[in-house]
Chains A and B, each alone.
Chain A
Amino acid sequence: MSLLDPELAARAIERALARGGDLGEVYAEARTGFGVALDDGRVERPQSGSGRGVSVRVVAGDATYFGHVDGIGEEELLRVADSVSQAVSGGRPRTIALEAARAVQGHDIGRRPEDVDAATKADVLRRCDERARAAGDAIAQVSASYAENHQRIEVYNSDGVAAADDRTRVRLGVQVVARRNGTVETGHETRGGHAGFELIADNPEQVAAEAARKALTMLDAVDAPTGRMPVVVGNGFGGVLLHEAVGHGLEADAIQKEASIYAGRLGDKLAGDGITAYDDGSKANEWGSDGIDDEGTPTQRTTILENGELTAYLYDLVRARKDGARSTGNGRRESFRHLPVPRMTNTFFGPGEASEEELIAGVERGLYAVSFGGGQVEPATGDFVFGVSEGYLIENGKVTSPVRGATLIGNGVEALAAIDGIASDLSIATGYCGKAGQSVPAGVGQPHVRLRALTVGGTAA
């Protein structure tokens, strides 16, 4: 069932362009969601939500005019279109004809989450609780959450784009607190995808077991070392380093404002031979995947690093137009309430040849950073800081004690140049990426990666 009649969309775009503009666009969205949590053994905060809305965008030269309203009625849509057109001046009206929005091939959804009753979802959380508590006497607290989201969008624009997408995402997260002799540690694990309930139904206990393992392991942690040393970064969520310290700097808005350390560096050799990285919004059923981006451009695989050479920036329509480039399908937005901006989908290093063990065996004294609690980067300089949530010392080529309180401090360009080994065990984890006040699902990933040297800010004296 379509959200918006193409003739109405065309009329709204015509009215939005009544006083000129290079691009007129209408974006309609209908969304439903459900979530439930478990804490202290109790199922709580079940909530469901629904919403529909529409936005109108006009791009005129370097300026963007935008309006949005809750609801997808004709009256609201035309009112927003008129209001947006009032801000434009000096152009001429034009006639728009549009076909009905066509959905591209989406991602396979096995079992529609809406068809699974809420009690089953609550039961998944109870099973996770039970599994985590069974991991040991030191497990003090378990919390778990489940969320599903069904989003349908339609995008029409004055260049003839008429595209639709139907997106379903599910995500399970478990957090475990372990306590022993006054020491308290937490472990966290998630599983999610652009997929149906089958992703959750398949052994959800494994997510709980992994969260519990992390918390229990960290109970034995020693203070983190301080100083410059080799660092092996874990696969999966370790890719947040690439996302934050490199990926954001490749987004074309930062490039065009020269707010990125990577501006003007296309073709430069930033990392060693054999280092390849991608942004891929088309990867089947991954968390950051969609059929089209939020401007109607089909998602694609973009090679951002090829044999160490910087090969591409990430574009939406507006920034692509400015550079005479094509959109790479990275025009994403949180909802109809937000303007699309260039952002990553699933961003990851491609696999290399080495094994995890080989990378570690080559380190005399260093840090094995398995997972991060979060991080921050300054795109203008590439400086970053990441908190290591699960980390270990590497001594004489072997992983030894877990460490607590480590942070990695460095610079994206320097870190890329410092990569001296990459393993074959690629995996992708689920994250939420915040930018310009918008949060979107983003996949982060990599195989195990070794950096020759990085500054570790520790807690050890």
Chain B
Amino acid sequence: MSDADLQAIAGRAVDAAVAAGAGDAEAWVERSTERQIRVYEENVESLTDATSAGVGVRAFIDGRVGYAFGTDMSDDGLRAVAEAAHAAAEVADPDDYAGLPDESGSAAVDGLFASELAGWSTEQKIDLAVRIERAARACEGVSQVEDTVYSDGEGAVAIANSRGFADAYEATSSWTYCSAFAGEGGDRMTALGVGIGRHPGQIDPEEVGAEAGRRAAQLVGARQPSSRRCPVVLDTFVAASFIGFIGGMLSADAVQRGRSLFADRLGDEIADPLLRVADDGTDPGGFATGPFDGEGVARRRTPLIEDGRLGSYLYDTRTARRGDTQTTANAERGSYRTLPAVGTSNLVIEAGDAGFEELVSRCGDGLYVTDVAGLHSGVNPVSGTFSVGATGRLISGGELADPVREITIASDLVTMLRGLQAVGSATRWVPFGGSVKAAPLLLGEMSVSGS
């Protein structure tokens, strides 16, 4: 199906919803093909080919909103989905803020579709995955490579609504990860290496494998240290997880429902002035990038934390109306099977000026965290206090020292952000905390509990 076909299907679904009695309607149509290759000990362990296509319809009746989705794109199928959306809307209570966007549109975004992807054969992709695994195994100290996955996809989405907006776009993506073990028995430690791009040529297999191996090997012999209070360096993956979590709490929905510690904090100094974070739905390096968001509003860049101050929340049309402001084009959709909801698109941490060695050296005596566990259960979203499991290495005299495990780090998010000492200069896109362009961070003191 071409973009034009998808757009036509979306248009027919909208017409069917209006015919069923909806005052306004919107349809979101997707099709995609994906391939995933998993290798183990240099052989293919699994190879998956998938094609998927479906439609989701939002129907509005006087402020009541209902949703339905299905996979049958025939006229009868579209009618059934449209009627189900209309029937669902009748159950909802009226919502003063519900409705289609006031201003739909598309941003000019390049670089989402890489024609190079189609030029890669399955054999070449298998070879790429095998090279990753081999590179991980070649790292000193690596005892096992559990999982090496290469995946790519090519897809298109189209949207249409009853106010006359319709558009579509295509995108490709290519990503890989490798999970390596180092050490033996109960001392075994594990770590990931990742690589992402629009086509496999943008992934350096040797670097992904070496990253997994290096990250695991440095943890061999990890022990539970004594409890202490000390400054902490978050590596890029962990920094991305924390920033992704904070980005989620800047959703206007969480704020308006009183579920965010950032409620009523616009303009407040919530972080050290060194920290600058933006939501950017137009950066071609981010996988969430597209010309329009999940309800057909042009994507844009929204500064969230500027010079330490809270600059904006993330809005979709509904939360913007409720907050008497404009949408930031952050209506996100997981797939045609889910309603659009406010969320982050891509988060971008602005690079600082400190190299990694400088972060460690400035830390002095502290902790370098390479992995956190239980972030989503360990943080109280309203107070911001957190206590999460962590793995990493001690920092002693400005140098990386013994590996540690079975510890928790505890603080609260605002204290943590205000205590920021330095932002690393090397930023990269990582698939942690959503889609985040992150850098390592040197933070102030936190309580680290061990034995």
Contact of B378 among A380, A407, A410 (CB under 8 A): A407
Nearest chain B CB to A410 CB, angstrom units: 7
Which stretch in A90-98, A130-138, A344-352, A369-377 binds the other chain? A369-377
Which stretch in B47-55, B168-176, B274-282 binds the other chain? B47-55
A62 and B43 form a contact (CB under 8 A): yes
> Is B19 interfacial (CB-CB < 8 Å)?
no
A63-B44, A70-B71 are contacts. A44–B65 as well, Cβ < 8 Å? yes
Contact of B91 among A36, A52, A382 (CB under 8 A): A36
A258 to B374, CA, bound (A): 24
**Contact pattern, B 35-52, Cβ under 8 Å of A = 1, otherwise 0:** 000001001111111111
Q: How large is the interface on A (under 10, 10 to 19, 20 to 34, 35 or more residues)?
A: 35 or more
> Is A22 interfacial (CB-CB < 8 Å)?
no
The chain B residue sitting closest to A49, CB to CB, is B69
Chain B residues within an 8 Å CB radius of A53? 71
Chain B residues within an 8 Å CB radius of A36? 88, 91-92
Per the CB 8 Å criterion, the residue count for chain B at the interface is 69
A47 and B66 form a contact (CB under 8 A): yes
A67 to B35, CA, bound (A): 9
Chain B residues within an 8 Å CB radius of A42? 93, 95
A48 and B378 form a contact (CB under 8 A): no
Contact of B93 among A34, A44, A48, A259 (CB under 8 A): A44
A51 to B335, CA, bound (A): 13
Nearest chain B CB to A383 CB, angstrom units: 6
> Is B139 interfacial (CB-CB < 8 Å)?
no
A215 to B65, CA, bound (A): 30
A385 and B49 form a contact (CB under 8 A): no
A67 to B374, CA, bound (A): 33
> Is B421 interfacial (CB-CB < 8 Å)?
no
A121 to B258, CA, bound (A): 26
> Is B325 interfacial (CB-CB < 8 Å)?
no
Which stretch in A99-107, A296-304, A420-428, A451-459 binds the other chain? A451-459
A53 to B54, CA, bound (A): 11
A45 and B71 form a contact (CB under 8 A): no
A71 and B91 form a contact (CB under 8 A): no
A405 to B380, CA, bound (A): 8
Residues 385-406 of B contacting A (Cβ, < 8 Å): 385, 387-389, 405-406
Nearest chain A CB to B59 CB, angstrom units: 10
Chain A residues within an 8 Å CB radius of B406? 383, 409-411, 455
Contact of B48 among A67, A118, A374 (CB under 8 A): A67
Contact of B374 among A40, A226, A376 (CB under 8 A): A376
Nearest chain B CB to A57 CB, angstrom units: 9
Chain B residues within an 8 Å CB radius of A121? 91
> Is B376 interfacial (CB-CB < 8 Å)?
yes
Which stretch in B152-160, B185-193, B349-357 binds the other chain? B185-193
B47 and A385 form a contact (CB under 8 A): no
**Contact pattern, A 33-60, Cβ under 8 Å of B = 1, otherwise 0:** 0101001101111111111110000000
Chain A residues within an 8 Å CB radius of B47? 63-66, 87
> Is A83 interfacial (CB-CB < 8 Å)?
yes
> Is B227 interfacial (CB-CB < 8 Å)?
yes
The chain A residue sitting closest to B38, CB to CB, is A64
Nearest chain B CB to A342 CB, angstrom units: 14
Nearest chain A CB to B212 CB, angstrom units: 13
Nearest chain A CB to B28 CB, angstrom units: 13
B68 and A48 form a contact (CB under 8 A): yes
**Contact pattern, B 76-90, Cβ under 8 Å of A = 1, otherwise 0:** 000011001101111
Chain A residues within an 8 Å CB radius of B385? 405, 459
Chain B residues within an 8 Å CB radius of A259? 144, 146, 181
A257 and B449 form a contact (CB under 8 A): no
A87 and B70 form a contact (CB under 8 A): no
Chain B residues within an 8 Å CB radius of A177? 258-259, 382
A374 to B372, CA, bound (A): 14
Residues 183-232 of A contacting B (Cβ, < 8 Å): 184, 186, 226, 228
Nearest chain A CB to B218 CB, angstrom units: 15
> Is A399 interfacial (CB-CB < 8 Å)?
no
A413 to B451, CA, bound (A): 18
A258 to B44, CA, bound (A): 18
Nearest chain B CB to A79 CB, angstrom units: 9
> Is B337 interfacial (CB-CB < 8 Å)?
yes
Contact of A64 among B45, B68, B224, B408 (CB under 8 A): B45
B408 and A385 form a contact (CB under 8 A): yes
**Contact pattern, A 348-363, Cβ under 8 Å of B = 1, otherwise 0:** 0000000000000000
A47-B66, A411-B406, A457-B387 are contacts. A118–B374 as well, Cβ < 8 Å? no
> Is B103 interfacial (CB-CB < 8 Å)?
no
Nearest chain A CB to B111 CB, angstrom units: 26
> Is A69 interfacial (CB-CB < 8 Å)?
yes
A80 to B33, CA, bound (A): 12
Chain A residues within an 8 Å CB radius of B48? 65-68, 339
Most buried by A among B81, B85, B188, B227: B188
Chain A residues within an 8 Å CB radius of B451? 228, 455
Nearest chain A CB to B414 CB, angstrom units: 15
Nearest chain B CB to A25 CB, angstrom units: 13
> Is A277 interfacial (CB-CB < 8 Å)?
no
Chain A residues within an 8 Å CB radius of B187? 381
A459 and B410 form a contact (CB under 8 A): yes
A146 to B451, CA, bound (A): 43
A383 to B223, CA, bound (A): 12
A53 to B50, CA, bound (A): 11
The chain A residue sitting closest to B44, CB to CB, is A63
A381 and B188 form a contact (CB under 8 A): yes
Contact of B186 among A34, A382, A410, A455 (CB under 8 A): A382
Nearest chain B CB to A396 CB, angstrom units: 25
> Is B67 interfacial (CB-CB < 8 Å)?
yes
A439 to B147, CA, bound (A): 19
A228 to B387, CA, bound (A): 16
Contact of A62 among B40, B70, B91 (CB under 8 A): B40
Nearest chain A CB to B29 CB, angstrom units: 12
**Contact pattern, B 85-107, Cβ under 8 Å of A = 1, otherwise 0:** 10111111101000000000000
B44 and A378 form a contact (CB under 8 A): no
B45 and A70 form a contact (CB under 8 A): no
Chain A residues within an 8 Å CB radius of B339? 45, 47
Chain A residues within an 8 Å CB radius of B408? 385, 407, 409, 457
> Is A337 interfacial (CB-CB < 8 Å)?
yes
B70 and A50 form a contact (CB under 8 A): yes
> Is A247 interfacial (CB-CB < 8 Å)?
no
B387 and A405 form a contact (CB under 8 A): yes
A257-B146, A375-B377 are contacts. A46–B387 as well, Cβ < 8 Å? no
Residues 140-164 of B contacting A (Cβ, < 8 Å): 144, 146-147
> Is A270 interfacial (CB-CB < 8 Å)?
no
Chain B residues within an 8 Å CB radius of A71? 71-72
A46 and B46 form a contact (CB under 8 A): no
A-B residue pairs in contact (CB < 8 Å), sample of 13 = A43-B93, A49-B68, A50-B71, A51-B69, A63-B47, A64-B45, A65-B47, A87-B122, A118-B90, A373-B377, A380-B181, A385-B408, A387-B377
Task: Spell out A's residues near B (CB within 8 Å).
Answer: 34, 36, 39-40, 42-53, 62-71, 80, 83-84, 87, 118-119, 121-122, 140-141, 177, 184, 186, 226, 228, 257-259, 261, 337, 339, 372-378, 380-387, 389, 404-407, 409-411, 413, 455, 457-459
Q: Which are the 6 A-B pairs with shortest beta-carbon distances?
A: A385-B389, A374-B377, A457-B408, A373-B377, A387-B377, A376-B373
